[in-house]
Structure 1
Amino acid sequence: MQLLLAVFMCMCTVSLSLPRREAASFAKQLLIRRFEEEKTSSGRANNNNVTQPSTSYARCLLCKATISIVNEFLSKAKSGDNLVAILKFGCKTLRIETEAVCNGIIPLFKDMLFTVISQSPLSPHDICSIVFNNECGELTEKSNWTVATSGVPKPPVKPISVPSDSAPKLRIAHITDTHVDYQYAPGSNANCADPLCCHTDSTQKKGSSVGADNAGFWGTYVTCDIPERTLISALKYIEKQVKPDYIYWTGDIISHNVWQTTREGNLRQFNRTLDVLRMYVPDVKVIPVIGNHEGVPVNSFPIPQITGRFSVTWLYESLADVWSHYIPEQNLKTFRKGGFYSYDLSSTLRVISLNMNYCNTYNWWLLINSTDPTDQLKWLTNQLQECEDKGIKVHVMGHIPPGQSDCLSVWSRNFNDIVNRYENTIAGHFYGHTHFDEFAIFFDKENTTRPFATAYVAPSITTFYSGKPTFRVYDVDGIYDNSTYQVLDIETHSMNLEEANRHPTDMYSPTWDVIPSIKQHYKLDSLRPEAWAKYVERIRVDEGAFKDFFAMYMKQLPNITYTEEDRKMLLCRLLRTRSEMPCQP
């Protein structure tokens, strides 16, 4: 039993990196049951019905026991080498992952894990409450912090004016979660035992048919990331057909081979991605965001007090150098400090790019100190106050949506309070991370039935645990005096993957199918928050409308079904931007 407890804490590092791992999430259970027979000692089912998640009580008991065991072990040992050997043995013996993954993931995470546990001032209760986002009880006062406000009273809420049809518009492409895999091999095994497949060394999964699940030339649903040619196809299409004014790129460049990542490998991929962007969309300014997969190990974003070999400076400095092609150096000073920055697209529109990894519950460095690392939220408040004073509108960008259960609840609460205060100033929210085509509605803190903003959560280019390579294009109220800069309509562009894979040659140009107007497709009066809230209520009672939304949400993934519990879970997610409000089936 002690072996299982010890292995648990380290091995959740594999699962934490996958978008399907939002605790008790609808998408997690749906995709796992449809495409993968789970590799755990409890034997999760492989069927077309969502399985019930493990209870919070058992999860918290296991977590607290694990923390206590590791603490005791480390206090009596001069190093963690013996514990690493135990973890490797347990990982392999219990078949939590394949031998290759066990041998890679544990050494990669061990030093961070041991350092965090030994330096964390928190009790096992608070540690587990942070990791599982309050499932293990309320945070104690030490961990339940509040960011100071500007002190300026909130002005009256201004109704959003309706732009005239002839008003100028901006076209903004939103790309997220590209996850290009440079080990992707067409014809390789796409149904393997590892967390990521479609590599030359991907082993056949027990019980699967040889040759039945081979990797396609342009991509493969669910179990694989994408080859570079698929990203290039998207960029060529964007350059020739979409012709955007800007590209919002909301993070996650690196593939899901989390047991093999290195700093050197990530740096190569950052530079290669810039080369591809400059080659295929040379005249479009890209506004980037840092994702959770950019760290090494995945989700590792040390707080400022962590220096030396664990310091995150290498990452911020390297990405700042890469992104300086698009963002002026004076704007990147805060990025070199904490991975966030602002940039003015015009004299009346500012983009704020946030580092959402400081809300990431799987960023274990937050267990040492989670209180607004690098003062990012304080900086955000100052930026928004400045924009309010000057009459500048703001687009807020980030990777992890603030309502995701892997966004720390205390961070999410502070963030929601800030954006609620500055709702007159913020014209749009843009996120990625989930891989699905979705949105989430912000509700007023005082009048909890009043929607005041919409978070646009874009679908991924990668096919990993989702459907077709997909991106969005926003029609935005354009640059002119008194522009609202609100999103007026959305186009959704998806690669026809099945057709593309019938043409296994780089000479072929895949077809990208487009839904030209989400407003028309969903029968919305507008894209204002209240219209989205009414839409959620409509699909709650209209089965046909929900089926249509579900197909869009899953990026046209074939043969996916859902239960009534799934439906309730998803509807809840659409109405949640505060992660302290968990969605339960």
Structure 2
Amino acid sequence: VDIFNEKELAKEFHNAFQSGFASSSLKQVAHELNFENLLLGDSQWETREGGSITLLCLTCQAGVSELLHMVNNGTSPDIIVDGIVALCVDLGIANHVMCDSLIKEVEPQLLWILENRELTANDVCGMVLVGFGCHTNNPDRVWDVALPDVPKPPVIDPVLPEDGSPVMKVLHLADTHFDPYYLPGSNAECDEKFFCCRAESGVVEQPEDAAGKWGDYRNCDAPEWLLQALYQHVNATYQDLDFIIWTGDLIPHIVWNTSREGNLEVIRSSVKMVHDYFPDVPVFPAIGNHESHPVNA
């Protein structure tokens, strides 16, 4: 879709924020960019042609420019947030529950950054979407790290230990993402798209849409009994563990609907499960990006 330049896109976003609705042209751009798959981490974006990358960067810059304009003109935070939510829904990025919850969850940080940092749209898009080919040439946002003028040490091949040397047996747990509300038979193809398999995930329209008992490969996380079965098997099979490394990400992926107490409850339950099955094994945990509220905070 090569129908917009940056000025035209900016006008489209201005009208959309004013009305609360995206025009058919802006929806066409959103369809071309496929925002839903973009948020899901679509690997095809890595091989997209330059035209799509350019359109993504221009669209981002136009939208952020309008946001910055509203902030600088003293627009009420409620109006700004409501406008973002409305566009999120109208452009088909996600449903109202996800758009409203996620945007309002990050609202304090988002508005503080927009109000207290001298940002340009090019800065924001160049940093947030750098992995998708957008860039900023602002030296305050992009910098070079000067490495010391010291030659690299010579490569020394490691020496393998001799046969019969002492060994340690280590269990590495990662990304357990325990969902205490996982429901077998619930809808795994739900309207929220990014997280399903709960009672509130809607009606199961086709038998194949139902979530399995032991989890589901679609946008769902691990039920308690799956983790318990995993730990029970490991405990029975490897009774000589020396220690456990647990590298975080215990919280389910419903990042738009978390809370401090909710995250703590999942952490407590997850820790109790590991302790119940490995009571005498030392555990060395690390915090993942999902443990905080909001996520990545």
TM-score (norm 2): 0.78
Give the match for residue 216 of structure 1: 212
CA shift for structure 1 position 138: 5.4
Distance 1:22 1:263 in 2: 32
Q: Which runs of 5+ in 2 are unaligned?
A: 1-11, 17-21
> 1:24–1:53: 8 Å Cα contact kept in structure 2?
no
The answer as to 2:206 corresponding to 1:185 is: no
Residue identity matched to 2:105: L
Distance 1:273 1:15 in 2: 30
Give the match for residue 275 of structure 2: 278
CA shift for structure 1 position 70: 0.6
> 2:65–2:120: 8 Å Cα contact kept in structure 1?
no
Distance 1:113 1:21 in 2: 25
The answer as to 2:240 corresponding to 1:241 is: no
The answer as to 2:120 corresponding to 1:123 is: yes
Distance 2:254 2:178 in 1: 11
Identify if the C-alpha distance between structure 1 residues 90 and 267 changes in structure 2 by more than 3 Å, giving closer, same or farther.
Answer: same
> 1:198–1:224: 8 Å Cα contact kept in structure 2?
yes
Question: 1:376-455, aligned counterparts within 5 Å?
Answer: none
Identify if the C-alpha distance between structure 1 residues 98 and 68 changes in structure 2 by more than 3 Å, giving closer, same or farther.
Answer: same
Question: 1:528-543, aligned counterparts within 5 Å?
Answer: none
Question: 1:294-443, aligned counterparts within 5 Å?
Answer: 294-300=291-297
Higher-Rg structure is 2
> 2:259–2:293: 8 Å Cα contact kept in structure 1?
yes
> 2:187–2:209: 8 Å Cα contact kept in structure 1?
yes
Identify if the C-alpha distance between structure 1 residues 15 and 60 changes in structure 2 by more than 3 Å, giving closer, same or farther.
Answer: closer
Matched position secondary structure for 1:174: strand
Give the match for residue 159 of structure 1: 157
> 1:189–1:211: 8 Å Cα contact kept in structure 2?
no
Q: Which is strand-richer, 1 or 2?
A: 1
CA shift for structure 1 position 152: 7.3
Q: Deviation per CA, 1:99-132, whole angstroms, max 9, x where unpaired?
A: 2222322211222222122223343223222112
Give the match for residue 81 of structure 2: 84
Distance 1:53 1:279 in 2: 53
The answer as to 2:62 corresponding to 1:70 is: no
> 1:261–1:296: 8 Å Cα contact kept in structure 2?
yes
Residue identity matched to 1:184: Y
Residue identity matched to 1:297: P
Distance 1:273 1:249 in 2: 11
Residue 58 of structure 2 is aligned with which of 32, 45, 61? 61
Distance 1:297 1:217 in 2: 29
> 1:178–1:252: 8 Å Cα contact kept in structure 2?
yes
Distance 1:54 1:234 in 2: 46
Distance 1:15 1:93 in 2: 16
CA shift for structure 1 position 142: 2.1
Residue identity matched to 1:109: V
Residue 97 of structure 1 is aligned with which of 86, 94, 97? 94
Identify if the C-alpha distance between structure 1 residues 84 and 144 changes in structure 2 by more than 3 Å, giving closer, same or farther.
Answer: closer
Q: Which runs of 5+ in 1 are unaligned?
A: 27-50, 301-585
Identify if the C-alpha distance between structure 1 residues 164 and 277 changes in structure 2 by more than 3 Å, giving closer, same or farther.
Answer: same
Identity of aligned residues (%): 34
Give the match for residue 201 of structure 2: 202
Identify if the C-alpha distance between structure 1 residues 268 and 75 changes in structure 2 by more than 3 Å, giving closer, same or farther.
Answer: same
Give the match for residue 176 of structure 1: 174
Q: Deviation per CA, 1:17-73, whole angstroms, max 9, x where unpaired?
A: x5x3568258xxxxxxxxxxxxxxxxxxxxxxxx98982111111111122111110
Identify if the C-alpha distance between structure 1 residues 234 and 295 changes in structure 2 by more than 3 Å, giving closer, same or farther.
Answer: same
> 1:236–1:281: 8 Å Cα contact kept in structure 2?
no
How many equivalent pairs are there? 266
CA shift for structure 1 position 139: 4.4
> 1:186–1:214: 8 Å Cα contact kept in structure 2?
yes
Identify if the C-alpha distance between structure 1 residues 54 and 229 changes in structure 2 by more than 3 Å, giving closer, same or farther.
Answer: farther
* C-alpha RMSD of the superposition: 3.0
> 2:255–2:295: 8 Å Cα contact kept in structure 1?
yes
Distance 2:61 2:247 in 1: 34
Distance 1:14 1:298 in 2: 20
The answer as to 2:228 corresponding to 1:232 is: yes
CA shift for structure 1 position 181: 0.7
Residue identity matched to 1:185: L
> 1:129–1:137: 8 Å Cα contact kept in structure 2?
yes
Give the match for residue 290 of structure 1: 287
Give the match for residue 136 of structure 1: 134
Q: Deviation per CA, 1:560-580, whole angstroms, max 9, x where unpaired?
A: xxxxxxxxxxxxxxxxxxxxx
Give the match for residue 24 of structure 1: 45
> 1:218–1:230: 8 Å Cα contact kept in structure 2?
yes
CA shift for structure 1 position 199: 0.6
TM-score (norm 1): 0.42
Distance 2:50 2:250 in 1: 30
> 2:180–2:223: 8 Å Cα contact kept in structure 1?
yes
Distance 2:248 2:51 in 1: 30
> 2:127–2:136: 8 Å Cα contact kept in structure 1?
no
Identify if the C-alpha distance between structure 1 residues 25 and 228 changes in structure 2 by more than 3 Å, giving closer, same or farther.
Answer: farther
Matched position secondary structure for 1:111: helix
Residue identity matched to 2:77: G
CA shift for structure 1 position 291: 1.7
Distance 2:154 2:276 in 1: 47
Residue identity matched to 1:214: A
